Structure 1
């Protein structure tokens, strides 16, 4: 029967060694964590068979390591003062010592919880390629202090992203500078996917791919997430998902195009990255992920007046333009506004939006009058000659003002 070293990893990354335990103890810990209401969750070490972690909602991490496992170096917190980084964290400024040449983006996010000693990956391999964000899900519960316990786990298995986020508490954790690579992706052959692009900001979000974390989540009320977006945008990451929205999980997944991954900037899911086989973070809402704050109107900037269209002018134009030779115009500016609106409704070919209220325009306007949006007129009331009520309906949909 296998025996294990038992230890507790605390949120500050200090470790309390608890002695040796037998397989039965580990089996019991697994069983307790498997209870749906238990505030615990089991995770395996991805590269050390038999090494078991129990993630706890209080932030501690229970760690069971087989006695016969190869020696393992335990990460220790960085006790040396790093004044340049500390200043950067407080002031939300890039730390000069960590900036690659030409970098201008945020390196440390103000208010983020520091996890580990700040050392993760290294310099980017292809800094001339577009910047990107890669989204993951932890496949663990959210809330409580799972951010610390999952963070401890990722440090112990050397699979740290730059950032970790809890959508329940809106807390942000940071493992290392955004200017350096994370370690949460597999290589694509000899190409190091973690080091692709000017930056590759990887975000582990607490939650499960099968239950997208953006469900019932309002980014307008999440300043922590807004800080993450602001940091990504500071590096020039486009507000786009160039490989398309993240795929539903479980499901068939996506093609993981190398061309798109290497040549396009923006937001990617783990399921988009070539050389990887994970399907996280599931079908998260791209609209919510790329949230933008509504900007208040500038009180000193006058709102431009909407153009006006007179019913009387349109009636005059119809009476004069229809019998006249093709191309005759009477009130071309106002007529063209109406014709463009009719074209936008699919009732008039754009080629006839020429400012002449001719037969094609009369027929199109009659179709508008008959339509539900135009008023559902019938008979002589839908003769193609504008009236104020139907024109107001058209104006409301297409940005001009109808007058008598």
Structure 2
């Protein structure tokens, strides 16, 4: 599983905009839209509110002139920015269907004047964490672009609103598609993987077979597909040929041991540390693991991230992580639950247990 909430993004709305995907076995994709508005903070704020009022929320709102980034809902669920194609719910096509509204006008392609920065790189990092390839399967976004149903249903990658069957808009306009990918090269720091890669096999090469993809080869060999691509000089759109011999990046055959954190121990610490004197610890080693993860999420200040005490700051930070992960109401407060701890563990390399 990839990133669900982008830590660098602002939050808009209540975090609930859709539901489960209809075809989770289909490749992941991204759809680029334009808001048909100006850019800048005033437009960003106005459009951000309007999309909620109109119940047309995408996952992401992005400003190409300020690099401002906001998120309405979890990336692993659907958004509301597309029309259905008959009985096909286009918003729910694929493993993910990440909808991005850019504060711009289709008639003036934003790639001609934009200023992508760290937030754009964070957005692309999250997109790639879902295995969405750096490719545009339907081609140009110019007026008259193809809305091929087979392409949409079977090909992962980046699309414009103009490519989606059942829709009649032609945004985002004739943008420079290559510029989108070049603005956040794959050599930039990737997100922490949801699950650690398996150790590589002793095989130092791999011969491409019929039906193979880079991500599939990565899963078979325990080597990240990005590493395979870089080692073999394969660049977007990451095409490989049957019979091609790929070098594999060697890694240790013995994975590093992961720390284990117990929900029961955390709740015992929570019950004792909060009412006790500042700095009181109960299970400091396990609490420190969680504090480090919350710090990495940007939710806990470094001052409180290594004391091993489950105080009010740590408790507030954990509640913030639950809200960030989509929990609401009573599920976002109180005792630590195994489900939410597993989500944090999957992102930060430790094991959660009851």
Alignment of 1:27-106 (within 5 A): 104-106=1-3
Q: Tell me the equivalent position of 1:153.
A: 50
Correspondent of 1:215 among 112, 119, 140: 112
Render the CA deviation track for 1:203-245: whole Å, top value 9, x for unaligned.
00001000001103344xx111111100000000000000002
Q: For 2:2 and 2:8, how far apart are their aligned partners in 1?
A: 17
Instruction: Kindly state the Cα deviation for residue 295 of structure 1 after the two structures are TM-superposed.
Output: 4.8
Instruction: Kindly state the Cα deviation for residue 149 of structure 1 after the two structures are TM-superposed.
Output: 1.3
Asked if 1:239 is matched to 2:134, the reply is yes
Aligned partners of 2:29 and 2:156 also within 8 Å: yes
Alignment of 1:299-378 (within 5 A): none
Q: Tell me the equivalent position of 2:75.
A: 178
Could you say if the C-alpha distance between residues 260 and 295 of structure 1 is closer, same or farther in structure 2, counting changes exceeding 3 Å? closer
Q: Tell me the equivalent position of 1:254.
A: 145
Aligned partners of 1:218 and 1:288 also within 8 Å: no
Could you say if the C-alpha distance between residues 294 and 123 of structure 1 is closer, same or farther in structure 2, counting changes exceeding 3 Å? closer
Point out 4+ residue stretches in structure 1 off by more than 6 angstroms: none
Q: Tell me the equivalent position of 1:293.
A: 185
Instruction: Kindly state the Cα deviation for residue 255 of structure 1 after the two structures are TM-superposed.
Output: 2.9
Correspondent of 2:40 among 139, 143, 149: 143
Correspondent of 2:64 among 167, 177, 181: 167
Aligned partners of 1:147 and 1:173 also within 8 Å: no
Q: Tell me the equivalent position of 2:5.
A: 108
Aligned partners of 2:62 and 2:100 also within 8 Å: yes
Q: Tell me the equivalent position of 2:90.
A: 193
Q: Tell me the equivalent position of 1:202.
A: 99
Aligned residues: 187
Instruction: Kindly state the Cα deviation for residue 294 of structure 1 after the two structures are TM-superposed.
Output: 7.8
Q: Tell me the equivalent position of 1:225.
A: 120
Q: Tell me the equivalent position of 1:73.
A: none
Q: For 2:99 and 2:60, how far apart are their aligned partners in 1?
A: 6
Q: For 1:238 and 1:156, how far apart are their aligned partners in 2?
A: 33
Render the CA deviation track for 1:40-60: whole Å, top value 9, x for unaligned.
xxxxxxxxxxxxxxxxxxxxx
Render the CA deviation track for 1:128-177: whole Å, top value 9, x for unaligned.
00000000000001012322210110000100000000011100010000
Aligned partners of 1:120 and 1:175 also within 8 Å: yes
Aligned partners of 1:154 and 1:160 also within 8 Å: yes
Q: Tell me the equivalent position of 1:280.
A: 171
Aligned partners of 2:14 and 2:72 also within 8 Å: yes
Q: For 1:188 and 1:168, how far apart are their aligned partners in 2?
A: 33
Q: Could you tell me the TM-score, scaled by structure 1's length?
A: 0.45
Q: Tell me the equivalent position of 1:51.
A: none
Aligned partners of 2:66 and 2:115 also within 8 Å: no
Gaps of 5+ in 1: 1-103, 297-404
Q: For 2:15 and 2:159, how far apart are their aligned partners in 1?
A: 24
Aligned partners of 1:164 and 1:204 also within 8 Å: yes
SS of residue paired to 2:41: coil
Larger RCO (alpha carbons 8 Å, 6+ apart): 2
Q: For 2:147 and 2:50, how far apart are their aligned partners in 1?
A: 27
Q: For 1:254 and 1:235, how far apart are their aligned partners in 2?
A: 26
Q: Tell me the equivalent position of 1:303.
A: none
Q: For 1:294 and 1:199, how far apart are their aligned partners in 2?
A: 20
Could you say if the C-alpha distance between residues 254 and 118 of structure 1 is closer, same or farther in structure 2, counting changes exceeding 3 Å? same
SS of residue paired to 2:152: helix
Structure with higher Rg: it is 1
Q: For 1:271 and 1:206, how far apart are their aligned partners in 2?
A: 17
Q: For 1:129 and 1:282, how far apart are their aligned partners in 2?
A: 26
Q: For 2:126 and 2:187, how far apart are their aligned partners in 1?
A: 19
Instruction: Kindly state the Cα deviation for residue 113 of structure 1 after the two structures are TM-superposed.
Output: 1.1
Q: Tell me the equivalent position of 1:126.
A: 23
Render the CA deviation track for 1:287-330: whole Å, top value 9, x for unaligned.
1111243859xxxxxxxxxxxxxxxxxxxxxxxxxxxxxxxxxx
Asked if 1:263 is matched to 2:154, the reply is yes
Could you say if the C-alpha distance between residues 294 and 120 of structure 1 is closer, same or farther in structure 2, counting changes exceeding 3 Å? closer
Q: Which has the higher strand share?
A: 1
Q: Tell me the equivalent position of 1:365.
A: none
